[in-house]
Structure 1
Amino acid sequence: MTASTAPAPGTLKATQAALAAEHAAVYGYGVVGGRIGDDRLQEARDGYAAHRARRDALARTVRALGGTPEGAAPAYTLPFAVPDAAAAVRLAAELESRVAAVYADLVRASEGALRREAAGALREAAVRSVRWRGSGVAFPGLAERAAAPTPSASASASAGEL
């Protein structure tokens, strides 16, 4: 991801939130990969690689915006137990939905190249979510916000939660 020379207000905060979400997704895909069946293992590997690449790009963007990238937590609290392949599929879909919501925040907070890249990341997360879940929502990244108490609730969630 890249940054423009004069970021819009809130851009650094939204970029840090996206970075935190990518850290959590990388961790979560580690769990998914350990529980997923062989039939979907490559899909899990692809998701893991995509989130690692986005995480690394966001760290560079945070630096370009004048910030210090937030580090990953040593562990994250999973939203539910993941004892088998079916739960791993549900976790992967949940990870993608949460990442899409944070990228929706970054789209709103940024402009220019960073906004385009955030929109692309939102689209990719939405597509992966549909593949894992088997269905989608009309407005990926925004549907997750409908139940949230504030527009940026998941973006400001603690770093230890997925």
Structure 2
Amino acid sequence: MSGRARDDARAAELTALQASLAAEHAAVYGYGVVGGRIGAARRAEARAAYDAHRARRDALILEVRDLGGQPVAANAAYALPFPVPDSVAAVRLAARLEERVAGVYADLVRAATGTRRGAAAAALREAAVRAVRWSGESVAFPGLAERAGEGTGAAGAAPSASASVAPSR
């Protein structure tokens, strides 16, 4: 691989890492909302997901730094894709968060190589499993919106407002 191609691949990987980090920041925020509205029966599940996203977020911060990047900061607040007044809506939000995270990890799988690609694939799998647990539904290609017939979560592309927890402006 030429120097230019290697630099381009590294830039694409860093962009996908930053998108994954931004999605993890949003998921941590979103699970704060989920935790405040979820019923007692699923509270432990929500807490486990919250902890998993915090751990992934922290690992991604280190990976971005390892590639020489400045990790994207979390926003102070995020706009939710719909109101979350009760436990039913909290479950829907949790599923939506996981679908969004799966999408950005699919992009990271495409952009990364080596052990980072394996870690991204594991994160994609974990998010897809959590999405199924929350929603009770699965898709043939989790994280690949173009396969599921939805908009893309591609790194560098703006996700649709209905597909993510967007930064509050």
Structure (1 or 2) with the larger CA radius of gyration: 2
CA contact (8 A) 1:102 1:155 kept: no
Match for residue 48 of structure 2? 46
Taking the aligned partners of 2:136 and 2:39, their CA distance within structure 1 comes to 16
- Gapped regions of structure 1 (runs ≥ 5): 1-5
1:148 to 143, 147, 151: 151
Match for residue 3 of structure 1? none
- Residues 55 and 149 from structure 1, CA distance in 2 versus in 1: closer, same or farther, beyond 3 angstroms? closer
Match for residue 65 of structure 1? 67
Structure 1 position 125 matched with structure 2 position 132: no
CA contact (8 A) 2:37 2:87 kept: yes
- Residues 88 and 45 from structure 1, CA distance in 2 versus in 1: closer, same or farther, beyond 3 angstroms? same
- State the secondary structure of the residue aligned to 2:151: coil
Structure 2-normalised TM-score? 0.85
- State the secondary structure of the residue aligned to 2:133: helix
Measured after TM superposition, the shift of residue 151 of structure 1 is 4.5
Match for residue 99 of structure 2? 97
- State the secondary structure of the residue aligned to 2:59: helix
- State the secondary structure of the residue aligned to 1:135: coil
Question: Residues 4-29 of structure 1: CA distance to partner in whole angstroms, max 9, x if unpaired?
Answer: xx773400000000000000000000
Correspondence 1:13-52 to 2 at 5 A: 13-52=15-54
- Residues 159 and 14 from structure 1, CA distance in 2 versus in 1: closer, same or farther, beyond 3 angstroms? farther
Of stretches 149-158 and 106-115 in structure 1, the one that deviates more from structure 2 is 149-158
Higher helix share: 2
- Residues 40 and 154 from structure 1, CA distance in 2 versus in 1: closer, same or farther, beyond 3 angstroms? farther
Measured after TM superposition, the shift of residue 113 of structure 1 is 0.5
> How many matched pairs?
156
- Gapped regions of structure 2 (runs ≥ 5): 1-5
Match for residue 13 of structure 2? 11
Structure 1-normalised TM-score? 0.89
The structure showing larger relative contact order (alpha-carbon pairs under 8 Å, at least 6 residues apart) is: 1
Match for residue 82 of structure 2? 80
Taking the aligned partners of 2:160 and 2:13, their CA distance within structure 1 comes to 14
